[in-house]
């Protein structure tokens, strides 16, 4: 099943970065009636700049909205923070995976009510349309971030403003520990 494969792809991206989350099945066992594919245990921030609105087209998996690479300043509260180029940080409490193109008829008929239900119960979140989405959908709901792939690592932040990184990258940035393990000292 293509949909399940893309849910696993999302879960793998979160696991590779050490982001704690509950799967849809976990939420159902705990009695949640409306369940996104993943509920984050710790909200993340995703920094994006507004997409260009001049040409109404669509986003594909190789075209995310223009991004900023400057993390938000811890405790900045949005004023004078580190986001540049009119960028914003979207708070993401949950993520839903859609192995399809996000077309306006489908979004309005099926997905919007579902996603707004998650917003009402769980706060702001994101949906990944793995095969892209129509540009005009992004501007509809401020609490629903539309993506066409997992965001670039330099645009995803923990609540304290530090970037979310792959666990392998984190280990590579601590050479003292790696050297100590090889030498037998400090083990």
Measure CA 111 to chain center: 18
For residue 178, the model assigns a pLDDT of 35
Name the least confident of 52-56, 94-98, 103-107, 170-174: 52-56
For residue 41, the model assigns a pLDDT of 97
pTM beyond 0.85, yes or no: no
Torsion from C-alpha of 160, 48, 70, 80, nearest 10 degrees: -70
Note whether 116 and 144 are within 8 A (CB).
yes
| DSSP states along 91-155 | EEEEEEEESS-B-HHHIIIIIHHHHHHHHHHH-SEEEEETT-EEGGGTTT-TTEEEESSPPPGGG
CB count within 10 Å of CB 155 equals 23
pLDDT tens per residue, range 49-64:
765 433 334 555 444 4
Say whether pLDDT at 69 is over 90: no
In 3D space, the residue among 172, 164, 184 whose CA is nearest the CA of residue 95 turns out to be 164
What is the chain's mean pLDDT, rounded? 78
For residue 49, the model assigns a pLDDT of 73
187: helix, strand or coil? coil
* Gap between the Cα atoms of 175 and 179, Å rounded: 6
Torsion from C-alpha of 126, 131, 136, 138, nearest 10 degrees: 10
For residue 75, the model assigns a pLDDT of 39
Angle of CA points 145, 11, 60, to nearest 5°? 45
């Amino acid at each position: 099943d293509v949909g399940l494969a893309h849910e696993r792809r999302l879960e793998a991206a979160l696991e590779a970065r050490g982001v704690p989350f509950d799967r849809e099945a976990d939420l159902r066992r705990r009695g949640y009636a409306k369940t996104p594919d993943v509920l984050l245990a710790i909200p993340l921030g995703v920094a994006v700049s507004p997409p260009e609105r001049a040409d109404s087209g669509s986003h594909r998996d190789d075209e995310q909205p223009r991004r900023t690479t400057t993390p938000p300043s811890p405790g900045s509260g949005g004023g004078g923070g580190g986001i540049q180029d009119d960028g914003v940080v979207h708070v993401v409490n949950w993520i839903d995976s859609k192995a399809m193109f996000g077309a306006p008829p489908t979004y309005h008929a099926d997905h919007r009510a579902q996603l707004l239900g998650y917003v009402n119960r769980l706060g702001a979140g994101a949906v990944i349309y793995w095969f892209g989405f129509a540009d005009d959908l992004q501007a509809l709901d401020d609490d629903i971030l539309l993506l066409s792939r997992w965001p670039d690592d330099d645009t995803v932040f923990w609540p304290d403003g530090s970037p979310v990184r792959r666990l392998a990258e984190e280990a590579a940035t601590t050479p003292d520990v790696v050297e100590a393990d090889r030498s037998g000292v400090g083990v």
